[in-house]
Structures are given as C-alpha cells and as structure tokens.
Amino acid sequence: MEDYSMQTLISAEVIAKRVHALGQEISQHYQGRKLCVIGVLKGSFIFMADLIRAIDIPCEVEFIGVSSYEGMQSTGHVRINYDLSVDIEGKDVLLVEDIIDTGSTIDYLLKTLQVRNPASLKIACLLSKPEAHQITLLIDYVGFEISREFVIGYGLDLDGLYRNLPDLKQMLPKA
C-alpha cells in the first residue's frame, strides 16, 4: 500500500447534498407508494443509511450480500453470500449499490431479482464508472459519475479496510 497515496475525491459535505437530492427525486417518483429498498452489502451500507433517511415515503429495508472483487480488480465472478429475508413479489424494489464498475454485479443482481417478480425494479448507485462498464445498463439514479480511478471511503473498501472514512478518496499511484 506504500505505493499509493490517498486524495479526497468527493467530500462528505458534497456527498450529503447529492444524497439528499437523490432521496427527494426518489420520493417524488414513488409518491403515494411504498418501497422495498435493497442495499448491496457491504459497500452500500453507509450510502443506504443516508439515502433512506432522505426518502420520505414508507420504506422496507433489506440487504443482499455479494462478492466479486479482490484487491483493485473486478474478478467478474459474482456470488450471493447473504440473501433477502422477504419475498419481493409485487413490490416496488430499489436496489442500492455503492459503485458500478464493469456492471457485472448489478447485471447479475437484476437478473436474480427480476425472476422473483417485483412490481418494479430500479437501481440507485452512489458512483458509476461509465468508461469501465462492459454491459449496457440503464441506471435510474446515479450520485456521481467518475473515471476509472479506484476509490475508498463512505462504505467502499480496499480489501475490507477504509469503509469508515467520511470522504470518498482516490488511490493514486505514487510517482
């Protein structure tokens, strides 16, 4: 890790404003309905906690656990290691992800959840790396678009660490 330095990419204040705006947009879209919000573990847990408090319609809170990353490279192999505790049939579902990189995790989750017949299924992600997408995706709510840099903090990890940093930080190779 001594070959990398950390630099703030998006501050906690900027994140808070954007997450609040996303919550309002989501509340307006689902006005008069209730929502089943599913956070993708572990990376989404802080975004999820802030986002649901910015949503002012009734929300059911669920989590699904997947793993696909080792170090700074996506392995492309996605597996569920923790499943939902409720049936989502007939429900309006919002899948909450920390970051969409190649798109393989979200693609796998969409396919896995769609066969359970939700009334609707949308995606909210804090970050998206459009240049890295290997699958054409329609992402309904995006916090910030970034380039290919590896980021940590606000829930995002590097090999399990740094999720507790309040800002989003970029890992930069040292010159």
- Shortest distance in whole angstroms from residue 72 CB to Mg ion: 11
Q: Report the residue number, 59 or 99, with the smaller CB distance to Mg ion.
A: 99
Q: Report the residue number, 98 or 167, with the smaller CB distance to ligand IMP.
A: 98
- Exposed/middle/buried for 4, CB within 10 Å: 0-12, 13-18, 19+? middle
Is residue 101 among the annotated active site residues? Answer: yes
Task: By CB under 6 A, tell whether 170 contacts ligand IMP.
Answer: no
Stretch 107-136: interaction string toward ligand IMP, x if CB under 6 A: ------------------------------
- Distance, in Å, from the CA atom of 71 to the CA atom of 92, rounded to the nearest integer, reads 34
Q: Report the residue number, 30 or 101, with the smaller CB distance to ligand IMP.
A: 101
Piece of the chain touching ligand IMP by CB under 6 A; list 5-13, 29-37, 109-117, 145-153: 145-153
Task: By CB under 6 A, tell whether 47 contacts ligand IMP.
Answer: no
Nearest to 155, CA basis, from 132, 126, 131, 122:
126
Strands (E), 43-116: 59-70, 73-82, 92-100
DSSP state of 18: H
Piece of the chain touching ligand IMP by CB under 6 A; list 3-11, 29-37, 79-87, 101-109: 101-109
- Distance, in Å, from the CA atom of 112 to the CA atom of 121, rounded to the nearest integer, reads 11
First to last CA, the chain: 14
Options 56, 101, 107, 167, the catalytic residue = 101
Task: By CB under 5 A, tell whether 39 contacts Mg ion.
Answer: no
Phi then psi dihedrals of residue 96, to 5 deg: -110, 120
Task: By CB under 6 A, tell whether 105 contacts ligand IMP.
Answer: yes
Stretch 51-70: interaction string toward Mg ion, x if CB under 5 A: ------------------x-
Using omega within 30 degrees of 0 as the cis cutoff, is the peptide bond preceding 122 cis? no
- Distance, in Å, from the CA atom of 127 to the CA atom of 144, rounded to the nearest integer, reads 5
Piece of the chain touching Mg ion by CB under 5 A; list 3-11, 36-44, 71-79, 127-135: 36-44
